[in-house]
Amino acid sequence: MDKERFLQSGLLEQYVLGLTTEEENEEVERYAHAFPEIQSEIDLLRNAVRQYAEEQIATPKINHHPYLSASPTAQEDEEDFFTEKSAPAMSQWIMAIFLVLFAAFGFYYFSQAQRSQERLSQLNKNFIAFKNDCQKEQESLQELQQQVAFYENNLTSPLQLEGTSLAPDSEVRVFWNEQEQLAVVQVFSLPDHPVSKQYQIWADIAGTMVNLGMIDAHNTEPQIIRCLPKASSLNITLEPVGGSKVPHVDQLYANVSLP
C-alpha cells in the first residue's frame, strides 16, 4: 500500500483511538517511521483528541459555604457533602469519557467522509480526462476513416512525380480528386534546402502556372494542397520562404503530367 492510500485507509484514526490490533499497530508504526508526514498526522490526531478531552473533563469544583468551617459539626457536614457528591461526580466522569469517545468517533467518520469526497473528486477528474481522451481518439479515428475513404475513392488519382536532373532521386506522390476538389501531397524524398528556401507546388492550367501551396520537405505526413480543375501537370520548384507569385522554372525539382 502506498503512502496516500495508507493515509486514506482510516487506520490512523483507529490507531489513535486504540481500536487497532497488534499487527495493525506494527504496520502503523512502520509507516510512521518511514514517512514523517504520517507521524505528523498521528500527532495531529492525538492532539485533537487530547484537546477535546481536556475541554470536556474538568475537576468538579466544591463550593465552601462560610458556615461549614465554623464547628466540628460543620466538618462532619462537609464530609457528608463529599460522600453525597461522589456518585454524581463519577457519573460526570463517565459522561465526559463517553463524550470524548463520541467526539473521537465523530472525528474519525468525518475524516473518512472528507477523504471519500476527495477520492470522488479525483475520480471525477480522471473520468473527465478519460472522456476527453476518448473524444480525441474518436476524432482521430474519424479523420483516419476519411483519409482511407479518400484514397480508396475511384475518382482519386495517385500521381507519382518524377525527379528532374536537379533531384533524380526525388520521390513525391500526389493524390488528386478533381470532383471533390481535394488533393494531398506526400513527400518521401526531396533534397535538403537552405533555410531561406522552401518548396512550392504548381499546376499548369492552360499554359499558366498556378500556385497550389507550399510544401514542408521534412514532413512525411500527407499535406493538403489546392485542387484545381483542368490542370495538365503538377510541378515542384524551390522558391524563397513564403513562396513566389511566378515559379523559377530553372529550380524545377519534380513534375508529373495529369491524365
Cell of 259: 491524365
With a cut of 50, list the residues of the chain below it in pLDDT. 59-76, 78-79, 81-85
Q: Which tens digits make up the pLDDT trace of 162-177? A: 999 999 999 999 999 9
**What's the chain's length in residues?**
259
Give pLDDT, residue 66.
45
Distance (Å, whole) CA 27 – CA 25: 5
Q: Can you give the pTM of this predicted structure? A: 0.51
Give me the helices (H) in the chain, please. 3-7, 11-16, 22-34, 36-56, 72-152
Q: Taking the alpha carbons of 204, 205, 210, 215 in that order, is the dihedral positive or negative?
A: negative
Q: Where are the domains of the chain?
A: 3-147, 157-257
The span from the CA of 62 to the CA of 85, in Å, is 9
pLDDT score at 69: 45
Residues 6+ apart with CB under 8 A from 116: none
Give the Å distances, CA to CA, from 107 to 48, 58, 225, 253: 9, 21, 67, 78
